């Protein structure tokens, strides 16, 4: 059966390997998996073959041939917000996407693509921090998104919410190290960080009563209203009577 893992392992193994040549990767030795040249479409065709989504005898075609695979039911069109690891983007108008009229590549995750491109002259990745939006901008030309049909389901990954909780608990490091580890694991750093911020904002905050404290004084110091403090602490039956060591919820 077809495998996203096999396809993407090959895709990544070609990083900075072939020289970008328009029309490359198709004839003779250049049609092999270890070719010296590729263009955007021949690279994607080889990835699809390596993953078992199309037969080995398939011509390493063009963006127009990728559109043809979609018409044949070998690629399923999806929405941009649905993309995940192993999905394919094709920019350009179907019927007019040849040569400089189109481009294609694969998603390593939502937020990062890997593609053989003219700009870098080889296979590179581009993510949210550099170039991702340029290649996927519909302002230049239409961009469509496809998923190879017949893949073995990947092992279910943890949700962004679960990963964000682990980040808060310190399991993914900090700064650039955190970003790199998340991206290598197939997560969007921006998406995870947004969820981290959301969870931190919604997390309860508590204060432990000290000698001399009162609810009104705590409210003033924490810049919340006394009424809000009373509502968040229904266990306090007498707002004028709190005890040292008592736990007060602030938000």
CATH of the domain at 215: 3.10.350.10
Write out the two tokens for 207.
Answer: 């204060």
- CA–CA–CA angle 74, 21, 33 (5° rounding): 55
Contact by Cβ (8 Å): 72, 96? no
Residues 107 and 168 in one domain: no
Residues 230 and 175 in one domain: no
Residues 18 and 130 in one domain: yes
CA–CA dist 56, 223 (Å, integer): 67
Residues 227 and 118 in one domain: no
Residues 6 and 123 in one domain: yes
**pLDDT value at residue 182:** 87
Residues 221 and 191 in one domain: no
**pLDDT value at residue 194:** 92
Choosing from 152, 177, 193, the residue where a domain stops is: 152
Q: 223 φ, ψ to 5°?
A: 60, 45
Residues 121 and 240 in one domain: no
Side-chain half-sphere exposure of 233, counting CA atoms within 13 A: 27
Per-residue pLDDT of the chain (251 residues; tens, 9 = 90+): 789 999 999 999 999 999 999 999 999 999 999 999 999 999 999 999 999 999 999 999 999 999 999 999 999 999 999 999 999 999 999 999 999 999 999 999 999 999 999 999 999 999 988 888 899 999 889 999 999 998 765 555 788 899 999 999 999 998 888 988 887 777 888 889 999 999 988 888 899 999 999 999 999 998 999 999 999 999 999 999 999 999 999 98
**pLDDT value at residue 226:** 93
For residue 140, give the CATH number of its domain. Answer: 3.90.1720.10
- Tell me if residue 219 falls in helix, strand or coil: helix
Residues 164 and 41 in one domain: no
Structural domain harbouring 242: 206-249
Residues 138 and 227 in one domain: no
**pLDDT value at residue 14:** 98
Residues across the chain: 251
**pLDDT value at residue 64:** 98
Q: How many domains does the chain have?
A: 3
Residues 66 and 106 in one domain: yes
Residues 103 and 173 in one domain: no
**pLDDT value at residue 49:** 97
Residues 6 and 110 in one domain: yes
């Amino acid at each position: 059966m077809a495998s996203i893992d096999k396809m993407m392992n090959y895709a990544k193994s070609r990083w900075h390997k072939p020289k970008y040549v328009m029309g490359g990767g198709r004839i003779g030795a250049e049609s092999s998996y270890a070719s010296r040249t590729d263009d955007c479409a021949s690279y994607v065709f080889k990835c699809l073959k390596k993953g078992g989504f199309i037969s080995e005898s398939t011509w390493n075609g063009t963006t127009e041939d990728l559109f043809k695979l979609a018409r044949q039911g070998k690629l399923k069109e999806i929405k941009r917000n649905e993309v995940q690891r192993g999905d394919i983007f094709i920019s350009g108008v179907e019927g007019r996407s040849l040569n400089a009229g189109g481009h294609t590549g694969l998603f390593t995750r939502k937020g990062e693509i890997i593609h053989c491109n003219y700009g870098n002259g080889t296979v590179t990745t581009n993510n949210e921090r550099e170039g991702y939006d340029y290649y996927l901008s519909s302002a230049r030309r239409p961009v469509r998104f496809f998923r190879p049909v017949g893949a073995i389901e990947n092992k279910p990954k943890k949700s962004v919410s679960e990963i964000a909780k682990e980040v808060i608990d310190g399991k993914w490091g900090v700064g650039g190290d955190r970003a790199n580890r998340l991206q290598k694991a197939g997560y969007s750093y921006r998406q995870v960080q947004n969820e981290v911020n959301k969870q931190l904002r919604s997390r309860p905050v508590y204060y432990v009563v000290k000698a001399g404290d009162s609810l009104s004084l705590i409210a003033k110091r924490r810049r919340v209203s006394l009424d809000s403090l009373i509502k968040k602490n229904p266990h306090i039956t007498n707002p004028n009577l709190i005890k040292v060591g008592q736990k007060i919820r602030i938000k």
